[in-house]
Amino acid sequence: MPRVRIGHAPLDLGRLDEVLRAVEGLVTGGQGGRILLPDVEQVVRAERDEVLRSALATAELSLAGGPEMIRAAGRLGVPALALEPRTGAQWLPPLAALARERAWRVVVVAERPKLSEWAAGALRDRYGLLAVGVAAPDVPADGRGPWVDTLIDRIELTRPDLVWVSMDTPKQELFCQHAASRLHGAVLLGVGSAMESLLDGRGGARARGALRSPWRWLLQRLAFQRVLAHARAT
């Protein structure tokens, strides 16, 4: 699949069937890996955060986390026909359906209280997945540490094929990077607040931007436009 960069964040541009084949290849190949969904926040943060930049750059698959990423790719000259319109939470149903068809074991890891249990229950009820939830309320900001290693050891006991992770950025990306080096063959999917789309009204599926002040949201979008302008000029 072709890959472009929006600032320091890569974006893979395959259509849905290509993306699902790539995911299946990661799982069945046994090498594991990371799938990230970068959006405006990651692009802006990566400009000043070298550790996040590295985590984004080394992911095996990087899918659009929001519609702004698709529009940005178009402004960088990517043909419209090459752009898969799915973003963020819209990736989750086809990925869940693929996991069901292949009978993959899924672990849901979330820092928000009860989200992992709720989301795992939704995956079992709605998609018939072999899914369990693991709460991760105390992961440090760098995604590492003795407690994190114990958490990863617990996850590995379930022998997961896919690990869906919902944390704030950059903690989520750094946790996925660290966990991928310790889990044998599992593919980690950093979904962020998109996980809440599974909740059926039990807490609401609110985007990250809805949790911020309008002023902060505007500043972030302006910073994103500066990154995009620089990318177009180089």
The answer, yes or no, to whether residue 122 has pLDDT greater than 70, is yes
Amino acid 88 reads G
pLDDT (tens digit, 9 = 90+) per residue, 45-90? 999 999 999 999 999 999 999 999 999 999 998 887 678 888 999 9
Q: How confident is the model at residue 182 (pLDDT cuts 50, 70, 90)?
A: very high
Residue 202's pLDDT is 46
The answer, yes or no, to whether residue 108 has pLDDT greater than 50, is yes
Nearest to 91, CA basis, from 31, 14, 149: 14
Amino acid 192 reads G
Residue 30 neighbours by CB under 8 Å, 6+ apart:
185
Q: What is the DSSP string of 114-152?
A: THHHHHHHHHHHHH--EEEEEE-TT--TTS-SHHHHHHH
List the structure tokens of 127.
């998609």
Quote the Cα angle for 157-162-167, to 5°: 95
Residue 206's pLDDT is 44
Residue 212's pLDDT is 57
Tell me the CATH number at 76. 3.40.50.2300
Residue 169's pLDDT is 94
- Per DSSP, which regions of the chain are E strands? 3-6, 9-12, 33-36, 61-62, 105-110, 130-135, 162-166, 187-190
Residue 6's pLDDT is 95
The answer, yes or no, to whether residue 211 has pLDDT greater than 90, is no
The answer, yes or no, to whether residue 203 has pLDDT greater than 70, is no
Residues 197-218, mean pLDDT to the nearest whole number: 61
Residue 200's pLDDT is 61
d(CA 103, CA 230): 44
Report the mean per-residue pLDDT for the chain.
91
| Number of independent structural domains in the chain | 1
Q: What percent of the chain has pLDDT over 70?
A: 94
Range of the domain at 12: 3-233
Report the predicted TM-score, pTM, of the whole model to 2 decimal places: 0.91
Q: What percent of the chain has pLDDT over 90?
A: 77
